[in-house]
Structure 1
Amino acid sequence: MPILFQQDLKPFVSEILETVGSSPEAARHVAGHLVESNLAGHDSHGVIRVVEYCRHAQDGMVRPAETPTVERENPCTAVVDGHQGWGAVTAHYAINLAIEKAKKVGLSAVLVKRSHHVGRVGVYVTRAAEEGLIGTAYCNVQGPARVAPWGSGQRRLCTNPIAFAFPTGQAPIVVDFASSTVAEGKVRLARTSSKPVPLGWVVGPDGQFTTDPNVAYEEGAIAPLGSDQGHKGYCLALAMDLFTGVLSGEGCAQMVKRYANGLLFQVLDPGCFTESEELYRNLSDYVTYVKGVRPKPGSEVLLPGEIERRRREQRLREGIEVDQAVWSELLQLAQSLGVQWNGSS
C-alpha cells in the first residue's frame, strides 16, 4: 500500500474539489478535514470519501459553491441552513456559532439542516473543548438506510453518531462513536479492499450475521451498536433521528431522496457551575483514579481521544498508509479531472 504525506495529500484533494465547483477556501477546508481523519487513524472518514463527494457534486446531491446561513436565532439557539453545501464547512460554521453563544450566555444549541456529509463529528466538539467549553453533537443521516433495528435484518436506520468533548486544561477527552456496531465507512473500506468483516458487523435479510461486507449494500444491513445485544444502540440511533431529522423537519433514513446529515450542537460553559482550577483538579483526580487500574497483559487503559492523538503524531512522522484500491480510484478520478499528483508515494 502506498505511504503518503499530509502535506502532499491536502493540496491534491483540495485541487480535485475545486474542479467540481468548490471555492479554494472551501476546498482546502474539506480536504483538510478528510486528511486529518486519515491522520487520526479513521481512514473510513478520510480520502476514501473524495470519489463519492465528487460524484455527489456532479449529481447535484451537494452544491459545492453554497455557504451556510442562519435561518433563525435567539441569544442561545440558532438554526443553520447549509443549503446542501459541503458538510465540513457548514458544521464548522455551526460549532463556531454555538461556541460564540455559549461564551455569552453560558449554554447554546445550534441545529443544522440541509448539510452534506459532515465527516467525523468529534472534530467539531473538540473545537468547543479547546475553548474551555463542553461540546456535544447529535447527528443523523438523511438518505439510504444502512442499519437494521434491533430484532430485524431489514434496514430502517443509519449509523447516526453521537460525540462529546470535555476540556481538561490540556488535551480534551473526546468521545465519538456511531450508534451502529461499526461506522459505515469501515464496512465500505472492507468492501473496497475485498476483505471480510468481523462477525457481528453485518446482518443478512434473514437476521443472521455474515462476514461478507457486500451484504450490507444489498439486502442486508449493518447491525446496531451491541450487535446481537443491540437494543441500546438501536435506542441511540432513534434518539439521534429525533434530535436532528425530526426536530428540523428534514427527515431521517430513506424518508428523503438525497444524502444529507442532520446535526445538533449543544455547548456548555462549565464556568457557570464551577471555577476552572477546581474543575481541572477534580478531573485530574478522576483520570488518575480511572487509569490507576492494573491493565491486562499487553494492554493499556486509554482515555477517549488518546489513541487518535498518538496515531496523528505517528502518521505525521511516518506518513499515511492508504489502501491500494482507494488510492487507485483517487488517482483515476484525478486523471479524469485533469489533476496531477505531485507528491511522493
Structure 2
Amino acid sequence: MAERYEATGLTAFATRLFEKAGLDSEKAALTAELLVEADLMGHTTHGLQLAPGYLKKLAAGEMTAEGEPEIVADMAAVATWDGRYLPGLWLTSRAVDEAVRRAKSFGVGAVTIRRSHHIGCLAAFLTRATDQGCMLMLASSDPSVASVAPFGGRQPLFTPNPVACGIPTGGDPILIDISASVTTNGLSGRLAGEGRRLPFQWWLDADGNPTDDSAVIERDPPGSILPMGGLDHGHKGYGLALMIETLTQALSGFGRADAPTTWGASVFVQAFDPAAFGGLEAFERQAGWLADACRSNPPRPGMEKVRVPGDAALARKRRALAEGVELYPGIIGALAAEAGRLGVTPPQAIGG
C-alpha cells in the first residue's frame, strides 16, 4: 500500500525547506501551500515534485529570494509587474488577489507579470477567485524554453502554454486547466526518466516524424511535443499557443524576442466580477445549470459518467485531506535529500 502523508505536515515541511533556503515566511508558506494543493488535486507533475528544482534555483541565485515586484504600469483596472524572478507561486497568488480586488471596483481586473519564476499548477490558484464569487482567467508561458513546434513545423518554439479558468457555480466551481499542447514538459520528462512510452504518438522527432518516445524532446537536436489536436487538428492548439504567448509576453512587454535564458514565466491574470454584469446570482444560476446539464448527460459506451472539469480534482482533494496525500513515487526521496542538505526533518507517513 502506498504511503500517505498529512497535508498539513507536508505543507509545514515544505515551508520550512523554503525558509531554510532563504525565503521569508510569507513567500515560503504560499509556495509550499500551492505545491501541496497541486498534489491534493492530483496534478503530481506540478506539485511537490517541483520543490527540489525550486530549491536548487534558490541556491544558485536564479530564483530571487527577497523583495517585491517592480511596477511597470498601473492604470485603473490593469497593471503590469516585473517579477524579478521572485517565487512564481507567490507572485501569481498576489496577482490573482490584485486582479480580484480591481474587478470588485471596475468589473474586470487584469495583471500581467514578466520575469516571474515558474508558477507551478494553474488550477491551484483558481479557487482564490471563485471563493470570492469571481471568474478567473489565468495563462502562462516560459519565453526561455521551447518544446512545442508550431503546427506544420518541426523545430520547438513554444512551451506547452497552459491556460486555466475558474467559474463559480453556487456549488463546486468549474476548474478548467488545459494546455495548448497534447501533453506537458513535466509528463514528458517523467516518462523519459522512467523509460516508459504511452500508446500515443504525442511527440515529433527532430525530423518531424511522429513518435511515442517522449525522450526526443531532450535529444540534440531536440524533437517536440505536438500542439493540442495532434497531427490532424493541431492548428487549434497552435492558434491557442499564439494567443497565450501574446497575452503573457506581448502584453507584459517581455518575451522570446528578448532571448531570456532563466527558467521562469510570463503570466496573464484576469478576473471578472459577475456583480458588475448580469449579477452573481444570475451568473451562478446559468453556470450551475450548465455544469449540472453536463453531469447528467448520458455517457457514451465505456464511460461511467460525464464529469465537469474540476470534479475529479476536488474529489481527490477531499479524499486526500481525509485520508492523507499519496505522493508520486520518488518525490519524498528527492525531498528527503533536500531536507538533509538544509537540516530539516522530513514528515512521517501516516501510521509510520
Structure-1-length-normalised TM-score: 0.93
- 1:84 corresponds in structure 2 to 85
- 2:48 corresponds in structure 1 to 47
After superposition, the Cα gap between the structure-2 partners of 1:63 and 1:322, relative to the gap in structure 1 and judged at 3 Å, is same
- 1:234 corresponds in structure 2 to 238
User: Aligned-pair distance for 1:125?
Assistant: 3.4
Q: Residue 320 of structure 2: which of 302, 310, 315 is its match?
A: 315
CA contact (8 A) 1:30 1:89 kept: yes
- SS of the residue corresponding to residue 248 of structure 1 reads coil
Q: How does 1:81-230 map to 2 (within 5 A)?
A: 81-218=82-219, 219-228=222-231, 229-230=233-234
Partners of 2:311 and 2:95 in 1: CA distance: 26
CA contact (8 A) 1:181 1:223 kept: yes
Q: How does 1:51-90 map to 2 (within 5 A)?
A: 51-90=52-91
- Determine whether 1:256 maps to 2:260: yes
After superposition, the Cα gap between the structure-2 partners of 1:285 and 1:341, relative to the gap in structure 1 and judged at 3 Å, is closer
- SS of the residue corresponding to residue 255 of structure 2 reads coil
Q: Residue 325 of structure 1: which of 330, 333, 348 is its match?
A: 330
- Determine whether 1:269 maps to 2:273: yes
- 2:342 corresponds in structure 1 to 337
CA contact (8 A) 2:107 2:277 kept: no
User: Aligned-pair distance for 1:173?
Assistant: 1.1
- SS of the residue corresponding to residue 333 of structure 1 reads helix
CA contact (8 A) 1:192 1:325 kept: no
> Which amino acid in structure 1 is aligned with residue 154 of structure 2?
G
Partners of 1:125 and 1:312 in 2: CA distance: 14
Partners of 2:213 and 2:225 in 1: CA distance: 11
Worse overlay, 29-38 or 261-270:
261-270
Partners of 1:196 and 1:62 in 2: CA distance: 33
Partners of 2:17 and 2:62 in 1: CA distance: 17
CA contact (8 A) 1:137 1:163 kept: yes
Alpha-carbon displacement from aligned partner over 1:173-202 (angstroms, at most 9, x marks no partner): 121111111122122222333322342222
- 2:251 corresponds in structure 1 to 247
> Which amino acid in structure 2 is aligned with residue 291 of structure 1?
R
CA contact (8 A) 2:6 2:325 kept: yes
> Which amino acid in structure 1 is aligned with residue 134 of structure 2?
L
> Which amino acid in structure 2 is aligned with residue 225 of structure 1?
M
- 1:306 corresponds in structure 2 to 311
- 1:287 corresponds in structure 2 to 291
CA contact (8 A) 1:66 1:82 kept: no
CA contact (8 A) 2:50 2:120 kept: no
Alpha-carbon displacement from aligned partner over 1:267-292 (angstroms, at most 9, x marks no partner): 12222221333333333333333333
Partners of 2:271 and 2:334 in 1: CA distance: 39
CA contact (8 A) 2:294 2:307 kept: no
Alpha-carbon displacement from aligned partner over 1:63-103 (angstroms, at most 9, x marks no partner): 12233343321221111222210001111111111111110
CA contact (8 A) 1:84 1:115 kept: yes
> Which amino acid in structure 2 is aligned with residue 267 of structure 1?
A
Partners of 1:7 and 1:304 in 2: CA distance: 26
CA contact (8 A) 2:217 2:224 kept: yes
Alpha-carbon displacement from aligned partner over 1:246-272 (angstroms, at most 9, x marks no partner): 222221399211111111111122222
Worse overlay, 23-32 or 206-215:
206-215
User: Aligned-pair distance for 1:2?
Assistant: 3.8
CA contact (8 A) 1:66 1:84 kept: no
- SS of the residue corresponding to residue 79 of structure 1 reads strand
Q: Which runs of 5+ in 1 are unaligned?
A: none
Partners of 1:34 and 1:234 in 2: CA distance: 29
> Which amino acid in structure 2 is aligned with residue 149 of structure 1?
P
After superposition, the Cα gap between the structure-2 partners of 1:89 and 1:284, relative to the gap in structure 1 and judged at 3 Å, is closer
After superposition, the Cα gap between the structure-2 partners of 1:254 and 1:209, relative to the gap in structure 1 and judged at 3 Å, is farther
Structure-2-length-normalised TM-score: 0.91
User: Aligned-pair distance for 1:210?
Assistant: 2.5
The alignment covers a number of residue pairs equal to 345
User: Aligned-pair distance for 1:40?
Assistant: 0.2
CA contact (8 A) 2:168 2:287 kept: no
Root-mean-square deviation (CA), in Å?
2.0
- SS of the residue corresponding to residue 52 of structure 1 reads helix
CA contact (8 A) 1:180 1:224 kept: yes
After superposition, the Cα gap between the structure-2 partners of 1:195 and 1:315, relative to the gap in structure 1 and judged at 3 Å, is farther
| Percent identity over paired residues | 29
